[in-house]
Structures are given as C-alpha cells and as structure tokens.
Structure 1
Amino acid sequence: MDSEEFRQFAGASIEFIINYLENIRERPVLTSVEPGYLHKVLPTETPQKPDKWQDILKDMENIILPGIVHWQSPQFSAYFPAGQSYASIVGELLSAGLAVIGFNWITSPACTELEVAMMNWLGKLLDLPEEFLNSSEGPGGGIIQGSASEASLVGMLAAKQRTVRRIKETDPTMDEAVIKGKLVAYASNQSNSSVEKTGLLGSVPVRLLGVDKNCSLRGETLLQAVQEDIKKGFIPCYLVATFGTTGTCAFDNIEELAEVCQKYNIWLHIDAAYAGAALVCPEYRHLMKGIDKSDSFNFNLHKWLLVNFDCSAMWVKNSNYLVDTFNVDRIYLEHHHNQHSQNSMAPDYRHWQIPLGRRFRALKLWTTLRLYGVEGLQNSIRKDIRLAELFASYVRSDERFEVIPEPSMALVCFRLKGDDEFTKQLLNKIVERKKLYMVPATYESFYIIRYVVCSRLTTEKDIEFAWNEIQSQANEILQSPSQISSNTFVQKTSNMDINTKESFKISNNYHPNNITEKSQ
C-alpha cells in the first residue's frame, strides 16, 4: 500500500467510524452470533495475493460488525464505560503513525516527557496531593499503565519488595524466600476480580474482608484482620482500597484504612478505576479524604474520561520503590543521559512498569485534554450523572420497583420488589431481546440489576427508551402494569422544563446522588 492508497483507505475508514457512531442506535446492542461464527466465514489461510482495501471495509460491515457488542451504544449500560471520543481517536492515529516504542528517554524524548507533562496536568486537575506529581521536589510521579489490573500488580510487586527489604534491614539473617512466604495482602469482598488476580500473579494471598451496610471496607475490619495475621506469623504488606466498587460504586473508608496501613507498614493502593474520573469535578473531591496517606493511586482514563483503551493513570508517592523492583539493565539499554534517568521530568519508564516496551499513549491524552478542556470534561461527567439521576426517578415512579442502594456516580442499581426470581427473569428477558444490555450484582442478600450511563452519546431520549424497555418486560413478568404507564410518565417528563423536572423528582421521593456535596 502506497501513500495515496493509504490516504484513500484511511479517509474511507474515518467515514466508516463516523457513520458507525452516528447510526449506532439502529443496531441491536448485543450480538446474535454463536461461538465459532467467524471461523465459518473467514478463509482458512492467509491470502496469497493482496486484497483490496475496499473489500476489507465491506467485510468490516458484513463479517466483523455482526460479532460486535456495541460498547459505544447508548443502549449499552453494562459494566462501565469504554471511553472514546473523536479527540482520542485522532491521538491514537497519530501514535500509530509515529509508531515509537518509548521504553526509555533516549528512544523518543517526547514520548517520555509528554507523558510526564500530561500526568502533571491530570494530577493537578484532580487536585491530587503535590507529592504524587513529577513536578514536586520529591520522588513521586505519574505513569500511564495499560489497565487498573496492571497498576494493582505493579503496586503489589513494589510493596512486596519494599517489605522484604525492610525486614532484611532489621534481620539480615532472615531468608528472603521465608519472608515472601509469609506475606499477605487485603481488599474488600467488593473489590474487582483483578485484585484477586493480582494476588495470584504476585504470589501473595489476598484476604477479601467484609464490608459495612454501605459496602465500604472500614478501618476496624482491616485492623482486626491484620492483628489476626500477625499473631499467626504472617506479614501484612499490601492493601487495595476501592474508590467506587464494580457492583454498586461504593467507597472504602480511605481515612480509616490509611491509619492502619501507616501503623503496620502496609502499602496502600487506591483503585479508583471508574469513579476517579469524577474528581475532575470539585463537588466530588470530599471523597478523597485520606488519599494523601496512600502510596499509589490509579484510575482509568479509558473508562469515563473520553480516552480510548488502554490508558490507565497511576501515581506513586515514591517512584524509587518501583525502580528498586523493576530495574534490570543491559548494555543496549544504556545511553549518555542515563544519569538523568531518575530525573522526575525525564524518567526511564521501563523501571516503572511490567513490560519493557510502551506505546506513545500520552498523545491521545494530550489531544483529549486540549480539545475538551477542563470545562468539557466536567460537563461530560456531570451530564452522565444527571442522566443517571433521571433514570433513578423513573424507577422510583413505579411502585413495583425499588432502587437499592442509593445511586452512586452514573450507576443506578434496582430490582423488582419481592422474590429475586422476578428480577432475574426481568434481566434475562431484557438481554434476550438485545435492545438493552445490563448485568447483575448483589447488594446484601438481594439480586440487583446495574444500569450505568456508559456512552458519551447518551441523551434523555435514550434514558426514556431504556425505561420503556424495562417496564414493558416487567409488565409481561408480573402481568400487572404500573399505575403510571411508561409512555404517560415519559411523555410528561419529556415535556417539562429543567426546573419542573427537578420539582417532579423531589415530589416523587427523588433522592439526589448520595455522594454529592452541594455545588459550590
């Protein structure tokens, strides 16, 4: 393919993406294909002669898209957002075009230094403690990891090495293998599955601790577990505190947990994969209490901040612990600026991560932050939360449903009152119809359905569509339509102005987002 063919193919591909996103509502959000479908239509071997790019685009529509779950669809309300925006797509394109591998400073100085600058921009935007920033005088700094899973593993491995060194300094005769065999880590039983996987990969067992009625891990629970383990001869070394759990978007009590971690030399890592993006809005920063006492903090830009996967922001208070853990040198990695590799403004990021190579991911963060600005990012977060609140008001308008627990960020959990079987049937019917995609969770002893505003394209009309779909399937299950019909309710609320809608929510026992402070 020459440059002219590339220009044509790339231009047609951009048009393909635009058309896909602009018409995404017309596609069923879930696929109807069966496992193995693609193997039946693809050739069994690589073509001997080059295909035409026009045929590739045709196959995208006819072969690939039928097997795609449309994560960018407003009808996708499962899991959490898969961040995406035109600004980020352009950054991805530029990164792919340059095709640099920035494992150390000399391999592409801009790759390293733009990432340092963007992590400082972002850290200041979130109002993180200054010691986490590369621009501070200390050894702290930020790095873009591939995912929150990687960040948790990086934190665990660094905590493991730090603990071993600390104990060896106290007792040089103690065998390192013996120390590692006694290490133990902690998280709440509401933490993401990746935390358990971190324990498997890091060879450190993770104890999943119980939570309070708000699904929050408390300091007293951690303290009790730590003291029990110490009595048994174990060595506590790592805690993952969750800032917005997967099931209900609950928040562990970081202040209380930090006190225990400091007392017992436990590395405190905060996993804010989804909810951390909301910290761009000042009204949510009260949730950060205790973050200054943590050792590392991470959130996924590729979830809720309009940046495409993979782009997970991680900050550490002391990057020396990462370098001590991951530093492996070879002669071919040396360069005449090696003496500056610990410079916080020009680090060799290969010492801060698991792989050697790394993509120029800072470009898509740079294009997104510049093209949206602070106001654009804040407006995007606030819009999604308002839409979730609107959805919650719809659910509360129907006496057959209940919203539990209270909505958090852009997540609303709900169920049909009565036996869990009704709620299970409801979700099954909805998923089978493929017009709306949601997944279940549990809260206390209840089976609940999670509804998340995931797409940047979502509007009030999409919220109304989702509620109509949910209510119509509930009518079939219960054979008792709500006293307020779906269409009537939606029509009434659609015709209201903003002030009237707010009054309607309050008059129908509407509860505002339970984690929001009043706007300043």
Structure 2
Amino acid sequence: MDAAEFRRRGKEMVDYVADYLENIEQRPVYPDVEPGYLRSLIPSEAPLEPENYDDIIKDVERVIMPGVTHWHSPNFFAYFPAASSYPAMLADMLCGAIGCIGFSWAASPACTELETVMLDWLGKMLKLPEHFIAGTDGHGGGVIQGTASEATLMSLLAARCKAIRRVQATNPETSEAEIMSKLVAYTSDQAHSSVERASLIGGTVMRKVPTDNAYAAGGGMLKKMLEEDKAAGLIPFYFCATLGTTSSCAFDHITELGPIWLITDYRHWQIPLGRRFRSLKMWFVFRMYGLQGLQAHIRKHVRLAKEFESLVRADKRFDICAEVVMGLVCFRLKGSNELNKLLLKRITNSREIHLVPCQLSGLFVIRLALCSQSTESCHIQHAWRHIAQLSYPPLSLSQLGATNLLFKEMASKQQMGYKCRIAGVLLLLLASIAALVAVVVIQDTWKSKEYSFEYGIVIDAGSSRSNVYLYEWPGEKENETGVVTEKMNCKVLGAGISDMKVDPQKDAESWDGFKQCMDNVTNAIPVLKHKTTLLFLGATAGMRLLHQKDEKKSNEILGSLREYLEALPFNFQNASIMSGQEEGLYGWITVNYLMGNFLQKNLWNIYAHPEGEKTVGSMDLGGASTQIAFSVQDDLWGPDYLHVKLYGYPYNVYTHSFLCYGKNEAEKRILDKIVKESSDPSYIINPCFAEGYNVTINAMDIYDTECTMKPVDYNPDQELFMVGTSNSDKCRSIVKSIFDFQTCSSSQCSFNGVQQPPVAGDFMAYAGFFYTARALGFEGTSDIDQFSAAIRKFCDSHWTVLKAEKTWIADKYLRTYCYAGHYVYTMLADGYKFDNETWKNIDFQKQVKKTSIGWSLGYMLSMSNMIPSEVKVITPLTNPVFAGLVFLFSALTITTVVLVFIILIRTCF
C-alpha cells in the first residue's frame, strides 16, 4: 500500500467508522455467537501472499462484526463507559502514523513532554493538590498506564520496593525475604479483583477492609486493622482506595483514609520502558471538548442514571440496592437470586440491551451503567420498558415445587374410598350454596361499591403542535397493563416546542397554551389524586431533528419544560425525546387497544383476551417523520423488531420510523427539488401546485431544517415566486425522486435500504394519511386504482375548481394535497409494497370509538405497568347472566341434596 492508496483507503475507513457509529443502534448490542465461532471462519495460518483490501473489509462484516459486543451502542449498559470518541480516534490515527516509542526524552521529546503536561491538565481538572502537579519545577506528576490493572500492580510494586528499602535502611541485617513475609497490603472488600491479583503477583499478603452500608471503606476500620497488624509485628506498606467501585460505584471515604495511609511516591512510574504517543488522544479530547464539554458529558450520565433510578423506584416489584452514584444504578427484582438470574438471562438473550450482574451483601444484583456517548433519555426509557416486560412472568423454584405437590395430592385423592365420596358430595353441596349466596351478594352490592381511578397525563409534543391527553383507568390492572380510557384532549395553542427559543412573542403564546391546557387538566382530576397522577412529556420528530441540528438548544427547551412541569401538583416523571421506533410501537398499541384486539368484555362482563391472535398494523404520517408497525411471527429478529408483552400476551412487532419523511418535511424536500431545477427564482414552475395558484415563499421556509441541503448561495430572506401548473405526471416524478428504491441488502426492503417483511393483514392509516385520503375523497377503505385516479383528478384540476369543491380545507393545506396524494401512494405502493389486493386492507381513519389515534394512548398503556393496583374491581353482572347463575347453582344445590339422600339410604339400609 502506497501513500495514494492509503489516502483512498483511509477515507473509506473513516466513512466506514462513521457509518458504523452512526448506525450502531441498528445492530444487536450483544453478539449471537458461541465460543470458538471465529476459528472456523478464518484460515488456520497467515496468508503467504498479500490479500486484497476489499476482501479484508468484507471479512470485517463477515467474521469480526458478528462477534463484537458494541460498547458504543446507546443500548450498552454493561461494565463501564467506552473510552473513545471522534477526537480520540483522529488522534489515534496520528499516533499510529508518528509511531514513536517514548522510552526516553531523546527518543521523542514531544511524546514524553506532552504526556507530563496532559497529566497536569488532568490533575488540575480534578482539582488535585499542587504537589500532584509536575509543572516546570514541581515534584509531582503522573503517567498514563495501559490499563487500570497495570496501574494497580505498578503502584503496589513501587510501594513494596520502597518499604523494603526503608526497613533495610534502619535494619541492614534484615533480609528481603524476611521483610516480604511481614508486608501487608490493604484494600476495600468491594475493590476490583485486579487489586487482589496485583498482591498475588507481588508476593504479598492482602487484607480486605470491611465496608459500611454504602459499600465504602472508612478510616476507622482501616486504622484498627493497622494497629492490630503492627502490634503483631507485621509491616503495613500499601492501601488501595477506590473512587467508584466496580459493583456499585461507591466512593471510599478518601478524607478519612488519606491521613492514615494512602499516597505512595516512587520515581520509576511504570513497567514498560517504551510507550506510544498516547497523550495525543488526551490533547485532542481536551481541546475539542473543553472542560465544559467533558463536565457536560459526565453530568448527562449522572442525570440519566437518576432518571433510570426513578423508573425503578416507581415499580414496587424492584429494589434499588445501593445509592446511585455517578452513572451506575444497581437494582434487582424482589425475591430470590435465582429469579434475578432468570431475568438477566432473558435480557441477555434478547440482545436489545446489555447489562451485567454483581454481588452486593450476598445478593445477585443487576447493574445498569451509562456507557455510550450517544445514550439519551429515550434509550433509558426503552431499557426500562424492556426490563419491565421481560420481568413477567417470573416462575420460581418454589412455584414448581408447589405444582408437583398438588399433583401428588390429586393422585392420593383418587385412591380414597366410600367415605371420601360422601364427604365430597357434602362439600359440593356447601360450595353450591356458597356460590349462590356470593352471586346474589355481588349483584346486590356492586352499585354501591366504589373503587378508585388512577390518572395519567401525556403531553404529545409534535413537530407542528402539542396536545395534552388525560387518561384514567381503574386501580386494578388487567393482566399487568391498565385498562386505560381517554378522559380529555386539549390542543396547546401555538407552534411545536421545537420552534421555541426563537421568537419571544411566539414562546409566550406557547406557554399560555400550555398553562391553559394544564389548568383544564388539573380541574378534571380529583384533588386527592394530584400527587399520584403520573405526568409525561414525549417529544417526537421535530425535536429529534432539532437535537441533531442544535443539541444545546433542544436540551434548553426540554429543561425549561421540565422546570415548568415539575412545579405542577402532579407526579412528574420525565420530559424526553422519543425515538421513532418507540413512536411507531405506541401507535400500534393504540390502534389495537381501541379495536379491542388486546381486551374485550366477555359473557360475564369482564375484560378478557379475545380469541385468536389477530392484530392490526398501523401507519402514522406526522409532520417530520412517518412510522409503520405491524405484528410478525416470533422467530424474526433484528433492530426493527420489538418483543413486547401486553395484558399477559407476547407480541413481536416490526416497527420502523423514517425521519424527514413526515408530510411537512417531505414537502420541503419536494420544494427544494423544484427550486434547484429552476433557473429563475423569481418565476418557479411548480407542477404540484394547481394551475391558477401562485405563492411567494421565503427560502428559509424550505431550508431551515436538517432534511434539506442549503444551496451554495443560500440567502434565508430570498423570496421564491412559485406558479402552479397542475401537472400530475411531473409532480409524481419529483415525489418519487426523494425515495431510494434501488439500495437494498436483502430480498425485501421498503425504501432507503431499510429491510421490511412483507405486509400482511389489516392496517390502520391515520394522521397525515387520513387527512390526505379525505382530501381526495376517501375515508375508510378504498381500491388502489380508485385512489390513483383520484390523485390524478385532483392534480389536474384548476385552483378555482379545487376551491369550489373543497371549501372546508384552508388554502395553506389545500395546495399541498396534490404532492401529498402522490407521496402517500408512492410510499404505500412502491415503498411498503401494498398491491391491488393488500391495498383494500388499509383503513384510513382519524378516530376509533371517538378516540383520536396517536402514540400517546399506547404510551400511557405501557407506562401503566409502573402503577400499583388498588382494590379488586367487583364487576357487575348483566341481568341474563345473573338469572342464569342463580338457576345453575340452585339446580346444583337441589341435585347434591338428592345425592346425599340416596347415599345415606344405601348406607343405612
């Protein structure tokens, strides 16, 4: 490889790495391979002849990636944070290129000096005392070790050497072997195993200092152990404190331990003489992030850990096992260690998130560590939902034992004789009488029986506007998920929250809209229920786009909303940006809940799971993104498949979200195509606008988004004059150009290279899909040819005709439905592959049973898993059922009386 090829291949590798990290969430975080998988995939010996670089890269995906645990995935919560970043990777490339070995100053002055300066920077950032700093004439300083284990071993060996020399200085006749036999090292009983391993390598005794209830070592116990060992003639020489233990991230009481025994000074610093130019990574990271950036990263992880802690504490089935420090949460299901091992096994096998266990006070505990830079609140919420779903139904060993005992008892009863049969008949008689009385009592008292309702508030912060939904459900849950109904829906006046922090006047309108809706909701909830009412805010694609464009601004908006919502009298849980996949899943849950596919009232007027496994797919067209979700067979796995459990039944749901393919963002992309194809911005032909309609649009309205690429000569205030021509064919061609139907790595894709199983069964299309279909003259189901013909008719019509026929549609929306019709048709037919037959299964609807369709109800259904049940609901019986039960048990009572009489006659005579 020469410089020219390296330049080309280097650029390719940068693209590969960037694509890998950008799309890492699409990969299973934990590999699905068995030990020894790799040996069979590669030759047993190195190649004799050089191989092609392209073949090597192909083998990375074929051989390496299937066995990689993806530490940078936002769903990786095991071990500790991944120590890399984009600046560090760039510095690593430069380090490899320079390739110096810094075994002395002369070998590489920059390498040796930069490392000293960088450790000074780190010491000052940590606010270490001045004697830790090298400076220009200081006596302190530090060195970068290869690993924490190496650093521990080095410090112990240095302390051992110093202790031996100190003793021999005062007692020259004492041999090194005799001194070694008396040396004692100390560490916390929560310290990492590498500390004990260092003691074994160093040939010394290691004593463990018991920790307190917070799993931290204190000065009192260490001092006592030192005094005992000194009195026994031993020589204490080393103590290793831990700031952030492996199991629970506990911090030893450093201010107590320091004055007793902590610091070891020694001049050799490290084992290897040579070292790479590793300080370049620190230099790049310090300069490209700054101290504020590093602090913000740490504080973000601390905040996310607290968020996860609140989710765990809200579920009464779980315990928090240690104080949450930094970015680590230790938790477990209440119950046996075996139960928690089973839960962790389910989590690991799912490969959606990755966690590891630890032992605390003899208990098997699950750790969730914030590791990836890309982890956000939505990933924390997803991780908890996944854990909560997998925690049902836990079957313990005691339950299995009880089942076996029951079978033994039943076998024993089958051997009973004549007297047992008499007792059985008498027992049946008593049971019949008791059942008859119970039915009458229940029917008589149900009307006066009061049971508590619980409430939940979900704020749907969409790209164009926000809605506040109030839900209620009885305190008792149906098979693990609340039976939720919509009580109120309030539209917040003003724009979507992604438009905040731009125009103070518009911000004031939005805040007034929020206050008005939240006042209405507050008045609708009983005062005694305010404190227990859960409050959530979920931001969707508009905020996802803003977060990509300006993370600081999106965080400020969410911060302001959190501050406002926390001041309300409710149990505020979180304000976060939802992932597109979650938005699609919750929409699917909403549709199927409203259609009764999860629960229906049976003959006894009780909610029960309906017969069969039928569910309906959902398709949501929002302003900035679109989502599809539908149930598939259980053996399909991948990043777009979610395994969920609702009302005690499991479902495997395919769901994918396409950002920048919402109705509003798609229009901007289409207008961008039209503008760039035009040679004169003062007179732009728009085939998607009706003839007779013209409008002036500011360039900013098209390009102030992450979904369009600004022209080289971009001027946000430039006015673009557009003239409609009613050209349906040309419009459809432009619409299709924003989709990629060519790229596909498998036999089945929708568009843009996204794999999708074939659509099957019924689908509900709502939001933008519904409004587009209604503008074209369709509600409910339709025929694909009729839909296509309606689009052509609409697009070929003159503006005056459309105005006359569609008087109920405002001009700003009416002008969009030509492109929107082609857009919906292209997405459904060419993208999702609905054909002449399956198109008939699409039902375009706005509501089901007078309830709006959207993700918020599905979100509330999922979140109701967190809410503890109250008293059992006594469900009333209908009159026919009541009469039937009375007749049944009356007849049973009379029959048993006759049987008893017959048995007694035969026994006596």
Task: Provide TM-score, normalisation by structure 1.
Answer: 0.77
SS of equivalent residue, structure 2 residue 365:
strand
- Aligned partner of 2:191 in structure 1 is 191
After alignment, is 120-129 or 497-506 more displaced?
497-506
Report the counterpart of residue 179 of structure 1 in structure 2: 179
Per the TM alignment, residue 492 of structure 1 is displaced from its structure 2 partner at its CA by 2.6
Equivalent in the alignment of 1:234: 234
| Paired residue secondary structure (2:371) | coil
Closer/same/farther in 2, CA of residues 468 and 204 from structure 1, 3 Å limit: same
Q: Which has the higher contact order (CA 8 A, sep 6+)?
A: 1
Matched-pair contact (CA < 8 Å) for 2:156–2:238: yes
**Identity over the aligned pairs, expressed in percent?**
44
Contact 1:403 1:412 in 2 (8 A): yes
Q: Report the alpha carbon displacement of residue 501 of structure 1 after superposing the two structures with TM.
A: 6.0
Partner residue, 1:481: 480
The Cα of 1:457 is off from its aligned counterpart by 0.7
Structure 1 residues 447, 44: CA separation in 2 closer, same or farther (over 3 Å shift)? closer
Name the amino acid aligned to 1:233: G
Question: Counterparts of 1:95-494 in structure 2 under 5 Å?
Answer: 95-135=95-135, 137-261=137-261, 268=262, 294-295=263-264, 318=265, 321-323=266-268, 352-477=269-394, 481=480, 492-494=536-538
Moved more, 365-374 or 442-451: 442-451
Q: Which residue of 2 aligns with 1:79?
A: 79
Structure 1 position 259, deviation (Å): 2.9
Q: Which has the larger radius of gyration?
A: 2
For 1:227 and 1:484, how far apart are their aligned partners in 2?
A: 64
1:141 deviates by 0.9
Task: Report the CA distance between 1:44 and its aligned residue.
Answer: 2.0
Q: Distance in 1 between matches of 2:258 and 2:355?
A: 34
Q: How does 1:4-43 map to 2 (within 5 A)?
A: 4-43=4-43
Separation (CA, whole Å) in 2 of partners of 1:165 and 1:50: 54
CA contact 2:534–2:573 (8 Å) conserved in 1: no
Aligned pair in 2 of structure 1 residues 135, 52: CA closer, same or farther (>3 Å)?
same
Q: In 2, Cα distance between the equivalents of 1:493 and 1:81?
A: 28
Which amino acid in 1 is paired with 2:536? K
CA contact (8 A) 2:534 2:571 kept: no
Q: Paired residues, what number? A: 424
- In the alignment, which residue of structure 1 is the partner of 2:898? none
Deviation string 1:418-453 (CA, Å, 9 cap, x unpaired) is 333322221111111111111112222432211011
What are the superposed Cα offsets for residues 3-38 of structure 1, whole Å, 9 maximum, x if unpaired? Answer: 111112111111111111111111111111111111
For 1:55, the aligned partner's letter is D
**Change in CA separation of 1:505 and 1:237 when aligned onto 2, cut-off 3 Å:** farther
AA partner of residue 395 (structure 1): V
Q: Tell me which moved more, 130-139 or 207-216.
A: 130-139
SS in 2 for 1:116: helix
- 1:332-388, CA deviations, whole angstroms, 9 ceiling, x for partnerless residues? xxxxxxxxxxxxxxxxxxxx2101110000001101111001111111111111111
**2: CA distance between counterparts of 1:505 and 1:166?**
66
1: CA distance between counterparts of 2:323 and 2:42? Answer: 48
For residues 448-470 of structure 1, the C-alpha deviation after alignment (integer angstroms, 9 at most, x for no partner) is 21101100010111111101110
CA distance 1:500–1:79, change in 2 (3 Å): farther
Q: Secondary structure at the match of 1:322?
A: coil
The farther-off stretch of 183-192 and 135-144 is 135-144
Q: Against the structure 1 CA distance between its residues 156 and 5, is the aligned structure 2 distance closer, same or farther, given a 3 Å change threshold?
A: same
Secondary structure of the 2:329 match is: strand
Secondary structure of the equivalent of 2:208?
strand
Contact 1:217 1:253 in 2 (8 A): yes
Please tell me the residue identity of whatever aligns with 1:481.
E
Question: Does the residue aligned with 1:185 lie in a helix, a strand or coil?
Answer: strand
Query: 2: CA distance between counterparts of 1:505 and 1:401?
Result: 26
**SS at 2:39 equivalent:** helix
Matches of 2:534 and 2:146, distance apart in 1: 41
Query: How far 1:505 sits from its partner (Å)?
Result: 12
For residue 499 of structure 1, what is the amino acid of its counterpart?
Answer: E
| 1:181 Cα deviation after fit | 1.9
When structure 1 is superposed on structure 2, of 493-502 and 221-230 the one drifting more is 493-502
Shift of 1:392: 1.2
Q: Is 1:50 the counterpart of 2:50 in the alignment?
A: yes
Q: Check the 8 A contact 2:187/2:209 in 1, yes or no.
A: yes
- Letter in structure 2 aligned against 1:164: I
Whichever residue aligns with residue 348 of structure 2, its letter is: V
- Structure 1 residues 500 and 238, CA, compared in 2 at 3 Å: closer, same or farther? same
Q: Is the 8 A contact 1:398 1:483 kept in 2?
A: no
- Judged with a 3 Å threshold, the aligned counterparts in structure 2 of structure 1 residues 432 and 80 are, in CA distance, closer, same or farther, namely same
SS in 1 for 2:330: strand
Q: Is the 8 A contact 1:398 1:482 kept in 2?
A: no
Q: Structure 1 residues 491 and 73 mapped into 2: Cα distance closer, same or farther (>3 Å)?
A: farther
Q: Secondary structure at the match of 1:468?
A: helix
5+ residue gaps, structure 2: 396-477, 485-532, 540-557, 575-909
| Aligned AA (1:421) | E
Task: Quote the Cα distance in structure 2 between the aligned partners of 1:363 and 1:23.
Answer: 27
Q: Where does residue 562 of structure 2 map in the other structure?
A: 498
